[in-house]
Structure 1
Amino acid sequence: MGFLDIDNTTKSYGSVEVLHKVDISIEEGEFLVLVGPSGCGKSTLLNMIAGLEEITSGEIRIKDNVMNGVHPSKRNIAMVFQSYALYPNMTVGQNITFGLEMHGVAKPEREKAMQDVARLLQIEQLLDRKPGQLSGGQRQRVAMGRALVRNPDVFLFDEPLSNLDAKLRVDMRTEIKKLHQSLGTTIVYVTHDQIEALTLSTRIAVMNGGYVQQLGTPQEIYDKPENIFVATFMGSPAMNVVPAVVRVDGGAPQAEIVLYDGSKARLPFSQPNLTAWDGRDILLGIRPEAITDHDSADRKSGNIASLSNRIVVTEPAGSDMFVSMQLGGKDVIARMRSDADVRAGQDFEFAVNMEKAIAFDPETEARIQL
């Protein structure tokens, strides 16, 4: 049993079920990120935890207390919204302490809590300003301060950085992570940005179509995706997924892939149990960083395979060079060092780390469990 338990929880609007039997147990101090595309149900689930949406079936418990039917004000949670939701006619200080005032907290105590939070978020100089005088990043800090000052059991963040520009989003992401590390608070955070999910969380729930597709640590989600949706949604650039056929040669399974010119290449798997799939179609998943030049290949890997193929496009990206080629009729991206000597139209010998390769069932799109 966790600090926050979402137990077999569903949500329906009329006859339409939009969340399907969600089961997540969150320990005290965890940073859980709910990530997925628009319409996947992540914000609905967050609103159910907050009490802003009713639960159709199942239970939500905080510290073993059932929250079904409990008014939001009685749940001891704090929510930070995408829109900041600050009162424009109040100063920053008044915005931060308004909730405490409504709960009858004495003024000296409110003032002390405000100063502590302002110092933590480095917004002491903003306390007398109005929200209209603040930048987007400053407003987000104030919204966080309003949540922090209440010392709640659980913090809920609903896409709090989506209105910020790219650089500020990265800066605020770092601030939120530092805040979690220093306070050890329990956080449930909603985003559609998989980079945010991977960098902020202690665990991730990847959602799609109202279902939790996979729940795990960032490393588990990235290295061992349960299905093709998770594999291609998490990671930038996305995992390459190409059709292949398993061929067993001398007892060792290999992935047979069609190259740009119609010829075929074979790459040896590290998973011997794939011999049961001899002659069968699979979908082969390989992350871009597992395809590179031989000088940059992972020295710790025991299975680096050579693949000769033609480069279609090169894309310099600062610290990296992304190289596109055709495999199995699909565009495949390789990640190389920025000074790699490659060009479009060149025949090149790639190094493929087959220890990182994943085989998916083309019918179910699930990872083939070995």
Structure 2
Amino acid sequence: MGFLDIDNVTKSYGAVEVLHRVDIAVEEGEFLVLVGPSGCGKSTLLNMIAGLEGITSGEISIKGRVVNGVHPSKRNIAMVFQSYALYPNMTVGQNMTFGLEMHGVPKAERDKALADVAKLLQIEQLLDRKPGQLSGGQRQRVAMGRALVRDPDVFLFDEPLSNLDAKLRVDMRTEIKKLHQKLGTTIVYVTHDQIEAMTLSTRIAVMNGGYVQQLGTPQQIYDDPENVFVASFMGSPSMNLVKAVAHVTGNGAGVEVTGSDGAPHVLPLPSRPAGLTDGQQVLFGIRPEAVTDGEGADRNAQVLARLVNRIEVIEPGGADTFVTTTLSGKDVIARMRSQTTCRPGEDFELVLNMDKAVLFDPETEQRIR
């Protein structure tokens, strides 16, 4: 049993089930990120934890107490919204302590909590200002401060950075990460931004179509995806997915792809997945950073496959260069060093780290293991 337990939870609107048997146990101090495209059910699940949405079936419990039907004010949770939801007629200090005042907390305790949190968030100089006098980043800090003064069991964040510009979003990500490391709070955080999910979380629940597609650490989600959706949704640029044919000989295995010249190439795998048969149609997946040149290849890799292929497009990206080539008639992105010598229109030797290769069934889109 976790600190926050989501046990076999479903949500229906009439005859339409929008969340399907969600099972997640969140440990105390964990930072769980719910990530997925718009309409996948992540905000609905967060609202059910908060008590803003009813539960159709299943149970949600916090610290061993079932909270189905418990009013949001009695759940000891604090929520940070995308819109900040600050009272425009109140000062920053009044906004941050309003909830405590409504719960009858004595003024001396409110003042101490406010001073501690304002110092932590470095917003002491803003306490007498109104929200209309603040920047977006400052408003976000105030919204976080309002949650922190409550000292709740669970913090819920609903896409809190989506209204900020790109640079400020990165800065605030770092601030939230620092806060979590310092305070050890239990956080459930909703975002559609997979970079946010990877950088902030201790675990990620990737959602799509009302289902949790995969639950795991950022590394597990990135390196060991369970299905095509997780493989393609997580990562920027996303995983290359190419049609291929399996070659199995004894304990050895490989995948046959077609190069830019139309010739077949068999790329060896480090081991044979138990579910793989000779001649089977598969989707061969490999991350862009596992496709590079000889100088950039991982020297510790068990299997490096070499393939001379035509370079289509070069996109300089500062520290990296993104190179487009084709395999089996589909564009494949390689992530190379900024000093790469390859040029558009030229044939170039690519090196593929096959330790990082994953295979999927093209019919079910599930991983072949």
User: TM-score when scaled to structure 1?
Assistant: 0.98
- Counterpart of 1:61 in structure 2 is 61
Displacement after TM superposition at 1:65 (Å) = 0.4
What is the CA–CA distance in structure 2 between the aligned matches of 1:42 and 1:276, rounded to whole Å? Answer: 34
Displacement after TM superposition at 1:185 (Å) = 0.2
Contact 1:252 1:275 in 2 (8 A): no
Q: What CA deviation, in whole Å up to 9, does each residue of 1:105-151 have, x standing for no partner? A: 11111111101000000000000000000000000000000000000
Contact 2:251 2:271 in 1 (8 A): no
- Counterpart of 1:118 in structure 2 is 118
Q: What CA deviation, in whole Å up to 9, does each residue of 1:226-248 have, x standing for no partner? A: 00000000000000000000113
Displacement after TM superposition at 1:249 (Å) = 4.7
- Counterpart of 1:88 in structure 2 is 88
- Counterpart of 2:13 in structure 1 is 13
The residue type equivalent to 1:210 in the other structure is G
Q: What CA deviation, in whole Å up to 9, does each residue of 1:68-125 have, x standing for no partner? A: 0000000000000000000000000000000001111111111111010000000000
User: Structure 1 segments of 4 or more deviating over 3 A?
Assistant: 273-276
- Counterpart of 1:171 in structure 2 is 171
**Secondary structure in structure 2 of the residue aligned to 1:160:** coil
The residue type equivalent to 1:67 in the other structure is V
- Counterpart of 1:27 in structure 2 is 27
- Counterpart of 1:71 in structure 2 is 71
The residue type equivalent to 1:195 in the other structure is I
Structure 1 residues 289 and 134: alpha-carbon distance in aligned structure 2, compared to 1, 3 A threshold:
same
What is the CA–CA distance in structure 1 between the aligned matches of 2:260 and 2:49, rounded to whole Å? Answer: 50
**Secondary structure in structure 1 of the residue aligned to 2:273:** helix
What is the CA–CA distance in structure 2 between the aligned matches of 1:61 and 1:191, rounded to whole Å? Answer: 23
User: TM-score when scaled to structure 2?
Assistant: 0.99
The residue type equivalent to 1:192 in the other structure is H
Displacement after TM superposition at 1:275 (Å) = 8.3
Displacement after TM superposition at 1:178 (Å) = 0.3
What is the CA–CA distance in structure 1 between the aligned matches of 2:324 and 2:56, rounded to whole Å? Answer: 47
The residue type equivalent to 2:54 in the other structure is E
- Counterpart of 1:309 in structure 2 is 309
Displacement after TM superposition at 1:62 (Å) = 0.3
Considering only aligned residues, what root-mean-square deviation do their CA atoms show, in Å? 0.9
Displacement after TM superposition at 1:277 (Å) = 1.4
Q: What CA deviation, in whole Å up to 9, does each residue of 1:259-318 have, x standing for no partner? A: 122111110011223684111110000000000001110111111110111000000001
Displacement after TM superposition at 1:207 (Å) = 0.1
Q: What CA deviation, in whole Å up to 9, does each residue of 1:166-217 have, x standing for no partner? A: 0000000000000000000000000000000000000000000000000000
- Counterpart of 2:141 in structure 1 is 141
Q: What CA deviation, in whole Å up to 9, does each residue of 1:146-170 have, x standing for no partner? A: 0000000000000000000000000
**Aligned positions, number:** 369
The residue type equivalent to 2:89 in the other structure is N
**Secondary structure in structure 2 of the residue aligned to 1:272:** coil
What is the CA–CA distance in structure 2 between the aligned matches of 1:153 and 1:62, rounded to whole Å? Answer: 8
User: Is 2:269 aligned against 1:281?
Assistant: no
What is the CA–CA distance in structure 1 between the aligned matches of 2:153 and 2:251, rounded to whole Å? Answer: 56
**Secondary structure in structure 1 of the residue aligned to 2:161:** coil
- Counterpart of 1:254 in structure 2 is 254
- Counterpart of 1:296 in structure 2 is 296
The residue type equivalent to 1:167 in the other structure is K
- Counterpart of 1:348 in structure 2 is 348
Contact 1:31 1:200 in 2 (8 A): yes
Displacement after TM superposition at 1:26 (Å) = 0.4
**Secondary structure in structure 2 of the residue aligned to 1:52:** coil
Contact 2:309 2:349 in 1 (8 A): yes
Displacement after TM superposition at 1:344 (Å) = 0.6
What is the CA–CA distance in structure 1 between the aligned matches of 2:314 and 2:39, rounded to whole Å? Answer: 34
- Counterpart of 2:325 in structure 1 is 325
- Counterpart of 1:100 in structure 2 is 100
Q: What CA deviation, in whole Å up to 9, does each residue of 1:21-67 have, x standing for no partner? A: 00000000000000000000000000000000000000000001001
The residue type equivalent to 1:285 in the other structure is G
What is the CA–CA distance in structure 1 between the aligned matches of 2:87 and 2:166, rounded to whole Å? Answer: 26
- Counterpart of 1:155 in structure 2 is 155
- Counterpart of 1:188 in structure 2 is 188
Once the two structures are superposed, the pairs formed by residues 210-249 of structure 1 within 5 Å of their partners are 210-249=210-249
The residue type equivalent to 2:220 in the other structure is E
Contact 1:6 1:24 in 2 (8 A): yes
Contact 1:253 1:274 in 2 (8 A): no
What is the CA–CA distance in structure 2 between the aligned matches of 1:273 and 1:231, rounded to whole Å? Answer: 18
What is the CA–CA distance in structure 1 between the aligned matches of 2:354 and 2:277, rounded to whole Å? Answer: 17
Structure 1 residues 224 and 93: alpha-carbon distance in aligned structure 2, compared to 1, 3 A threshold:
same
**Secondary structure in structure 2 of the residue aligned to 1:295:** coil
Contact 2:246 2:276 in 1 (8 A): no
Structure 1 residues 275 and 228: alpha-carbon distance in aligned structure 2, compared to 1, 3 A threshold:
closer
List gaps (5 residues or longer) in structure 1. Answer: none
What is the CA–CA distance in structure 2 between the aligned matches of 1:34 and 1:272, rounded to whole Å? Answer: 33
What is the CA–CA distance in structure 2 between the aligned matches of 1:150 and 1:157, rounded to whole Å? Answer: 15
